[in-house]
C-alpha cells in the first residue's frame, strides 16, 4: 500500500474529477518548506518550540493538583510525575545562561505549597466579596477568575525563573478559556478578586497590591508607541495600591501611573495619571431629560417593525 501511495504522488493525485497534482509540484513544495532561513519562524525554531498541547495538559494537571488534590497517595504519585513532565518541557526551550532545567524544575515544584496558600486566600476573597457565592466549592469549581488566577500564579513562578514560552502558553490558554488576560510577568499581591472577569487585561509590568478587586472589562495596560520593542524591559503598565476597587470598563494606562491605596475607580473611567490614596474618580453621570407633565409620548407606531 505504501508503494502504491508513493506512485500516486509521483504520477499525480487523482480525485473524483480526474484532475491531477504534479509530483514535481509536491517535491518543490517540500523542498521549499524544508529550506533553512533567517525569518521569524526559523528563529522561533532555533529558540525552542515546546509542544503547546503538552504544556496545556501539564498546566491543567498542576491547576487541579493545587486546587483540588489532598489525598496523600495521589500526591505521592502525581507530584513526581508532574515534576518529570515539567523537566522535559523545560529541556525543550532555551533557558537563561547558568540556569539548568533540573534546578528550575525542582524550584518550581517546591513552590507549589506556597502557590496553593495564595490561591486559598484568593478563594476566600472571592467568597467574601461576591454575595452570589454560595460556597467555597462553587468558587473553586465554577469561577473563571479562579482558573485564570491559578494559572497566573503557576505561570508567574516560571516567568520569575526566566523560562520562555511555557508561561505564555499557559496564560494564553487560560485567556482563551476564561476571557481574563493576565500576563505571567505581572506582580499580583494577596487576596486578589476578579468579579465576572470577561475582558479583563493585566499587562506584563503591572504591579497590583493586596486585596484588590477588578470587575469585567478592566484594562491595566500600556500607552502604545510605534516601536514597541524599544520598551522591552521598561515598566509600562500601572501600579495599583492595596485595597483598590476598579469597576467595569475602566482603563488605566502607563508605567508612571500609580493608583494609591484605598482608591475607587468608577466604571468606564479612562486614566493616564496617578491618583493619591483614598481617591474616588468617576465619569460625569448622563444627563436625564424628564417630562414635567409625566405623560408618555405615543410610540405605538415605533412598536411595529417590518422585518
Question: Is 45 contained in some domain?
Answer: no
Instruction: Look up the domain containing 147 and give its range.
Output: 50-179
Return the bridge partners of 271, or none. Answer: 252
Question: Structural domain tally of the chain?
Answer: 2
Question: Is 292 contained in some domain?
Answer: no
Higher-confidence position of 39 and 122? 122
Residues 224 and 165 in one domain: no
Residues 191 and 172 in one domain: no
Cell triple for 300: 405605538
pLDDT value for 227: 66
Helix 101-129 / helix 72-90 crossing angle, nearest 10 deg: 120
pLDDT value for 89: 97
pLDDT digits (tens, 9 = 90+) for 144-183: 999 999 999 999 999 999 999 999 999 999 999 999 999 9
DSSP 133: -
pLDDT value for 171: 98
Higher-confidence position of 265 and 286? 265
Helices (H) and strands (E) in the chain, counts: 9, 14
Strands 270-271 and 193-194: unpaired
Residues 226 and 281 in one domain: yes
Residues 152 and 220 in one domain: no
- In our burial notation (b when 16+ CB lie closer than 10 A, e otherwise), range 41-60 reads eeeeeeeeebeeeebbebbb
Question: Is 226 contained in some domain?
Answer: yes
* C-beta of residue 271 within 8 angstroms of C-beta of residue 249: no
Give the mean pLDDT of 113-133.
Answer: 97
Domain stops at, among 144, 163, 179: 179
Cα Rg for the chain, rounded, in angstroms?
Answer: 26
- Which pTM was predicted? 0.84
* C-beta of residue 225 within 8 angstroms of C-beta of residue 244: no
Say if residue 263's pLDDT is above 50.
yes
Task: Grade residue 306 by pLDDT with cuts at 50, 70 and 90.
Answer: low
Amino acid at each position: 500500500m505504501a508503494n502504491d501511495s508513493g506512485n500516486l504522488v509521483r504520477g499525480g493525485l487523482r480525485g473524483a474529477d480526474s484532475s491531477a497534482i504534479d509530483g514535481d509540484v509536491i517535491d518543490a513544495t517540500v523542498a521549499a518548506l524544508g529550506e533553512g532561513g533567517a525569518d521569524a519562524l526559523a528563529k522561533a525554531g532555533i529558540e525552542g518550540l515546546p509542544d503547546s498541547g503538552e504544556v496545556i495538559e501539564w498546566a491543567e494537571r498542576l491547576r487541579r493538583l493545587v486546587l483540588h488534590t489532598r489525598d496523600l497517595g495521589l500526591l505521592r504519585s502525581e507530584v513526581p510525575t508532574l515534576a518529570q513532565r515539567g523537566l522535559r518541557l523545560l529541556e525543550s526551550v532555551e533557558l537563561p545562561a547558568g540556569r539548568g532545567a533540573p534546578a528550575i524544575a525542582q524550584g518550581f515544584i517546591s513552590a507549589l505549597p506556597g502557590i496553593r496558600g495564595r490561591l486559598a486566600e484568593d478563594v476566600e476573597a472571592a467568597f467574601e466579596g461576591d454575595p452570589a457565592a454560595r460556597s467555597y466549592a462553587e468558587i473553586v469549581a465554577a469561577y473563571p477568575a479562579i482558573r485564570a488566577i491559578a494559572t497566573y500564579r503557576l505561570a508567574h513562578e516560571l516567568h520569575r525563573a526566566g523560562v520562555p514560552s511555557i508561561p505564555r502558553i499557559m496564560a494564553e490558554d487560560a485567556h482563551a478559556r476564561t476571557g481574563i488576560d493576565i500576563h505571567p510577568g505581572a506582580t499580583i499581591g494577596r487576596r486578589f478578586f476578579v468579579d465576572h472577569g470577561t475582558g479583563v487585561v493585566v499587562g506584563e509590568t503591572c504591579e497590583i497590591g493586596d486585596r484588590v478587586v477588578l470587575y469585567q472589562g478592566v484594562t491595566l495596560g500600556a500607552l502604545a508607541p510605534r516601536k514597541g520593542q524599544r520598551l522591552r524591559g521598561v515598566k509600562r503598565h500601572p501600579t495599583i495600591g492595596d485595597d483598590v476597587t476598579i469597576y467595569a470598563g475602566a482603563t488605566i494606562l502607563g508605567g508612571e501611573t500609580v493608583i494609591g491605596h484605598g482608591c475607587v475607580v468608577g466604571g468606564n473611567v479612562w486614566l493616564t495619571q496617578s491618583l493619591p490614596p483614598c481617591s474616588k474618580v468617576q465619569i460625569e453621570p448622563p444627563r436625564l431629560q424628564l417630562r414635567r407633565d409625566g405623560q408618555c409620548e405615543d410610540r405605538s407606531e415605533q412598536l411595529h417593525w417590518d422585518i
